[in-house]
Structure 1
Amino acid sequence: MKKILFILALAGVTIACKNEKTEVEQPVEVQEIAVNYQSIGDEITDKEVLTKSQMAEKFKSLKTGDTLNLKFSSEVKEVCQKKGCWMKVDMGEEVAMVRFKDYGFFMPKDIAGQEIILNGKAYIEEMSVEDQRHYAEDGGKSEEEIAAITEVKRTLAFEADGVLIPQVEKE
């Protein structure tokens, strides 16, 4: 009798200790959101794109005359309000002046604040006073601001051959 009670007690303890809940993990549903882009210039993809901070690091390694072919994304800070023939994009502490290969295409004038993808050549340039004043005039700066430009300036530059602008669906 003692053996039967001992076996029952041992079975009870074993069952009580095995009071594990086994939850079946539900598969996590991953939804990919497709982004449609307006493509301007050469056709490019949204694959293998550097971030703004990665691009800023690349610019730091460049000297005047060096070029790098690459693709990156950044926020548009300003667009030429006359034709859309240049734009400035955010590089963190600085902005990069973007022009378009062979003056072959233009940007919409209302994309400031949008995140875009650019493909092309990054380089450093020494921008003349005359060019700085021209871009300031195109950007709508005042006569006083334009007159205040008196020195050559080291600038981050990019010649884009293709640009992707996310399309916003209107409801």
Structure 2
Amino acid sequence: MDDLVLRAGGPGDAAAVLRLLDDATAWLVAQGRTGQWGTEPASTDPRRIAQADGWAKGDGLWLAEIGDRPVGALVVGTANDYVPPATEPELYVNLLVTDRAYAGAGIGARLLTHAADLGRQRGARLLRVDCYAGDDGALVRWYQRQGFTPTTPFTLTRPAQPPWPGQLLTHPLPPPP
């Protein structure tokens, strides 16, 4: 993926994040895996639209692009309130989504490497992420292949939706060389 470029996101990138989420949701639905993000496009959900706008206006959004096409999005920042606080300085992965047309191309791994680099630059000693742990646990295993260790399982309860099984994972960040 020599033509993959990472760049900081900005206020005009919310639509790109929503498109990536919509495409990923459609792929999950086609696989019969509706527990992670449901069945409806993020671009029609006021909560997800506001979330994407907030990410785009913040300083934690990064986009992976091939040419002018966003093929992945990463959001880093502080931990979600439903996970236990870190016991050491951390950087938290709030979102990682890639274009399914490039599945297997290493875009997600490249974005996580970038997150680790950002964490080290900011003095973090830990990179954490949470993910959907339902169905067959494939997403948890993917993060394990990226060097993360599962720590705390949890279940989110949400109004008018089924419980959401989650897994917190950690990746130690050695200091920069």
- Tell me the TM-score normalized by structure 1: 0.27
- Tell me the TM-score normalized by structure 2: 0.27
Give the number of the structure with larger relative contact order, counting CA–CA contacts within 8 Å between residues 6 or more apart. Answer: 1
